[in-house]
């Protein structure tokens, strides 16, 4: 489930234990294969059919900084399990405005837009149209100049690891690179300016603080931690337990609160997140935690 670039939400809370931050903003996601969904938090939802026939699909919608356009990956099926991939700019009515990037033939593609609204991290891997590779490559691309940066990061298996919305540092100089390490996920930070890599930890849901270029947050042992990549210091933000452990979380744009999806149990058995999503809000200045709420909002990218 999303950086001040992609999340421009206004949050108001009371000081009681019953607070629920009130988000205002418009979410966006694609519903396969060609439906763009715009969802007002706590309000209406609109659906637009994106152009193309049965061989065309769209994924990974992300707002641009202005909040009036989105970037999406378009897939074109060529038969025999082969597809071509490109990144397009579309408006909120689904009209295609520009082709930002076209991947080499039959090269599966995901991407992540930086807060500066220019740089894109591209995640690709080689495919023979039959087998899924476990060797992934991260490269960087300026969407306005339509030129590639020389940086290339080759990692091992990242199959199934989504690109979270806040992988970029607020200054757009550093990115988080997660990858599998046996049954666990580990992550490191890559600095585009210095070309240095800094190991973070093993865990999940590695995302950047929206207000600090040195602070990365993540889930480990049901709890949420931060790590300062300069000093190496870690801090416990949310202490979870097996039956109230963090599954995923995101920051408020101002860095004051966390919105935490917690594990939900029914009859002592953990319920799938697709069936029942439970959310708690954590105030970071005073470490106050809200009561739990059932959540039915789809949050991928916000403006």
Q: How far apart are CA 54 and CA 85, in angstroms?
A: 15
Distance CA 203, CA 223 (A): 10
pLDDT digit string (tens) for 83-95?
Answer: 899 999 999 999 9
In the prediction, which pLDDT does 287 show? 84
What residues in the chain have per-residue pLDDT under 70? 1-20, 22-23, 42, 79-81, 126-134, 264-276, 295-300, 302
The residues pairing with 124 across neighbouring beta strands, listed in sequence order, are 109, 137
- pTM for this prediction: 0.85
What local confidence, expressed as pLDDT, does residue 129 receive?
Answer: 65
Q: Which pLDDT does position 276 carry in this prediction?
A: 58
Question: Domain segments of the chain: what residues?
Answer: 26-302
Contact 75, 83 (CB under 8 A): yes
Cβ neighbours of residue 80 closer than 8 Å, sequence gap 6 or more: 129
Burial 43-61 (b: 16+ CB within 10 A, else e): eeeeeeebeeeeeebbebb
**Interval 261-281: pLDDT, tens:** 887 655 444 555 445 578 888
- What's the pLDDT at 3? 35
pLDDT, position 13: 38
- CATH number of this structure's domain 26-302: 2.130.10.120
Return the pLDDT at 81.
66
Nearest to 57 by CA among 79, 95, 39, 84: 84
Cα Rg, the chain, nearest whole Å: 19
């Amino acid at each position: 489930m999303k950086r001040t670039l992609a999340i421009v939400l206004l949050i108001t809370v009371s000081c009681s234990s019953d607070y629920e931050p009130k988000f205002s903003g418009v979410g966006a996601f694609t519903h396969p294969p060609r439906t763009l969904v715009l969802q007002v938090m706590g309000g209406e939802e609109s659906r637009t059919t994106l152009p193309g026939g049965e061989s065309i699909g769209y994924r990974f919608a992300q707002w641009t900084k202005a909040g009036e356009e989105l970037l999406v990956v378009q897939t074109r099926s060529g038969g025999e399990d082969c597809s071509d991939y490109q990144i397009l700019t579309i408006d909120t009515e689904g009209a295609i405005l520009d082709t930002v990037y076209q991947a080499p033939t039959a090269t599966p593609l995901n991407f992540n837009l930086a807060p500066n609204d220019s740089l894109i991290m591209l995640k690709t891997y080689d495919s023979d149209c039959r087998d899924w590779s476990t060797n992934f490559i991260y490269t960087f691309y300026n969407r306005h100049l339509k030129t590639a940066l020389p940086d290339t990061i080759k990692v091992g298996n990242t199959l199934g690891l989504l690109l979270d919305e806040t992988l970029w540092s607020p200054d757009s100089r550093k990115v988080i690179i997660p990858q599998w390490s046996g049954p666990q996920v580990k992550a490191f930070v890559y600095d585009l300016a210095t070309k240095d890599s800094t190991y973070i930890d093993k865990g999940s849901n590695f995302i950047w603080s929206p207000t600090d270029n040195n602070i990365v947050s993540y889930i480990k042992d049901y709890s949420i931690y931060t790590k300062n990549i300069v000093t190496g210091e870690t801090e416990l933000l949310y202490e979870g337990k097996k039956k109230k452990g963090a599954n995923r979380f995101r920051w408020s744009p101002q860095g004051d609160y966390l919105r935490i999806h917690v594990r939900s149990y029914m009859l002592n058995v953990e319920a799938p997140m697709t069936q029942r999503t439970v959310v708690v809000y954590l105030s970071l200045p005073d470490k106050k935690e809200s009561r739990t709420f059932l959540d039915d909002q789809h949050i991928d990218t916000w403006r």
